[in-house]
Amino acid sequence: MKTFFKRDGSMKKTQMVLIGLLFLFTTWNGWALDLDAARKAGKIVELPSGYVKATDGGAEALAKEINEKRKKAYEAIAEKTKTTIEVVGQQAAEKIKKKLEQ
């Protein structure tokens, strides 16, 4: 069985990113229904940066809340993996896109 740890005990960078993204997705459950409803109604769209954009004035507060939470999560993952918040956001956007296409 393959291990997730290097000989020095640290996790590989890509595995840390994946674990972080998994954590990020699970933290969205509290407001996922609002986000899903806003997406379906076309009031919020996902951006390639990993953030969302409100396309309707009534969804601006929700978009701001989502983006603030995502930024905090992206910052934590970027710090742990020694990468940039932009790279983490782009990776998250790809995961979100795949999830939405299912």
> How crowded is the C-beta side of 33, counted as CA atoms within 13 Å?
1
Domain count within the chain: 1
Whether this model's pTM surpasses 0.75: no
Confidence at residue 47, expressed as pLDDT on a 0 to 100 scale? 97
Q: Could you tell me if residue 83 is inside a domain?
A: yes
CA distance 7 to 26: 29
Any residues with CB less than 8 A from the CB of 99 and at least 6 apart, and which? Answer: 25
Q: Residue 78: pLDDT band by 50, 70, 90 thresholds?
A: very high
Residue 10 lies in a domain: no
- Summarised one tens digit per residue, pLDDT across range 2-19 is 554 555 555 567 666 766
Which domain range does residue 46 map to?
Answer: 32-101
CA distance 56 to 17: 32
* 27-71 residue pLDDT tens: 554 445 588 899 999 999 999 999 999 998 889 999 999 999 999
- The answer to the question of residue 14 being in a domain is no
Q: Does 47 fall in a domain? A: yes
